[in-house]
Amino acid sequence: MESLIIENTNKTPRVFFNALSGKMELAGRSIPENSFQFYEPLLQWLDEYAKNPQELTHFTFKLDYFNTSSSMYILGILKKLEKMHAEGKKIRVSWYYDSEDEDMLQTGEDLRQIVKIPIEMTELES
């Protein structure tokens, strides 16, 4: 399976989904003009990856801002990871937030309440 790597723009995050290592990351700002068009290939890739995942899948979120439509897809990613976890796969999720960004911390904590997988909250220094 090919890895999925998309460089960030001023409206979309960097996507680094490494199929061989099981390490995945979304980083940057997510305010795409068309969230469906941006995120749907990511969700499809995760569906394929879930058929034969690595022993440990580590997903990292390092987002500094995302809009409402992106949040639905971020939850969709977490739901796919949750399904893999329910099937007995090892899943680790890291949620990074700026020390001065209480909204991003709160969002991570809210998502942690919604999905049944542990989400590690990690504060970044400003």
Q: Report the number of distinct structural domains present in the chain.
A: 1
pLDDT higher than threshold 90 for residue 126: no
The type of residue at 103 is D
Range of the domain at 50: 4-124
Strands of 45-124 (E only): list them: 56-66, 90-98, 119-124
> Residues 106-123: pLDDT tens digits?
999 999 999 999 999 999
pTM, rounded to two decimals: 0.95
| Nearest-angstrom CA–CA distance, 82 and 12 | 24
CATH number at residue 16: 3.30.750
| Nearest-angstrom CA–CA distance, 114 and 53 | 23
pLDDT of residue 125: 84
What is the pLDDT averaged over residues 45-63? 98
> Residues 25-39: pLDDT tens digits?
999 999 999 999 999
Q: In angstroms, how far is the first alpha carbon of the chain from the final one?
A: 37
What is the pLDDT averaged over residues 90-108? 96
The type of residue at 29 is R
